[in-house]
Chain A
Amino acid sequence: MKYVYEPVKGLERTCIRNISISSSSDTVRLDEPVDFTVKLSVAGGIRDAFTSDLWEKAWDAWDKTFRMTYNIGIKKVVAGPITKDVIKSQKFVRRATFYWSRSPELNPDYSKKIWVMVVLEGREPVHPKSVDEAKTTLFDVKKTFRVMGSDLGKGKHALKAFGKASWGRHIFGEKGNSQSVSKEITITCK
């Protein structure tokens, strides 16, 4: 196979940025649901490098898919940075497929143009129209978790969102991962 390993500089500086959690209400009854929205973005290294140049380099080396595995969820806070009990979490994959596009818009001089398609969790395909849209589709995550008050228990609770993103080794860089937790929010369950 045609492997020419050429790591992209700064890939190790990939990080999770802007992780946040918000709730649909500050108080909830035991028999009521509450929605928590967790947002995060993968930033730096891989996001910066994720351009059509990188897609072409990978494609040329038969390295035609890039998978981002996310593990995202909500935890209870015990004290400060100490957390326990994952209340809800979800592990999922977003897959970018690099392919030779014949779109005359992407490729007005009819030469080779490697473009990307992203398949979201739930197998929804997205055909991004720009490099920025491709980055947003692959690296910006927003998930809503529905939790019953009874799952939290009576009382006041401090909660944090956690997020981990990981990827495998590719022609353009080593495998890696990044994780982060959000600031805490509180919710009272009556």
Chain B
Amino acid sequence: MTHAIEVEGLVKHYGEVKALDGIDLAVPEGTVLALLGPNGAGKTTAVRILTTLLRPDAGRAMVAGIDVLAEPARVRPLIGLSGQSAAVDERLTGRENLVMFGRLYRLDKATATGRAAELLERFGLSDAATRVVQTYSGGMRRRLDLAAALVVSPPVIFLDEPTTGLDPRARADMWEVIAELVAAGSTVLLTTQYLEEADRLADTIAVVDHGRVIAEGTADELKARIGGETLEVVVATDDELPVAQKVLASVSGSEPVVDRHTRRVQVPVGTGVAALVETVRRLADEQVTVLDVALHRPTLDDVFLTLTGHAAEDADSSQPAGTAAEVSS
């Protein structure tokens, strides 16, 4: 399999701060890699290096088969970048912005204009096309910014936190757009702090913390790393708790945890849905009124917590840089 992005031992230090501390990545053509990490993990730094904006202290980076450090000029026509904060001209209209970027990608006037109209339509900005960007909402800017990265449908696309600041609806739209890009053959590297987003979009997730990749794999692989599923039953009355406890113990073969306050019984299970079905059947036989029953798979939140020792969203953790390395080893 050919790789659209290949990174080896990328290092970038800012004085004491190790923004990147030796990152390796390989993104097969036509797939999505999500760099998942908390604030200050080094995601933007990695994107900036791969898009020729920043030179690393050490390491190697290939994009679309071209050495980024040796031949940045040959990489630029092949990439699209939508940075962390929307970088469009506020004093121009949405259309003027897109036409300008099209022209800078060396499209002729007619093509650039046509493409701009297409993108404005695609991103739901047609109505605002002739308004200056200054009057746009944050989400509209974000979408315009992404559109600007796509004027020439580049083979490799870098999206730095593409859905930060978008409402749920706009986020779903953005996900759809990204899925379409990939379906059309583009390779996408995106960064995100949202576990759900990585789960939903990415073929591979690289969890980054303190400038290092501390885990990599599909969402399922990452979840599997921290164990199986949990079966959870909520019953109607306190009297039914012991029965439920007995049933779950016998189905799973291990001792359930009982929360009397919420009348909730939980137990780890190895057989997933089969255990769920079995449990429901047996509880019905015992005439237990079940208010709720669920099979919980570990979330990426759990993964993150387990891997890094801190939650994904808990901003720039004040932990020393060494912690991540210890956890991952």
A and B: bona fide binding partners: no
**B interface vs A, CB < 8 Å?**
none
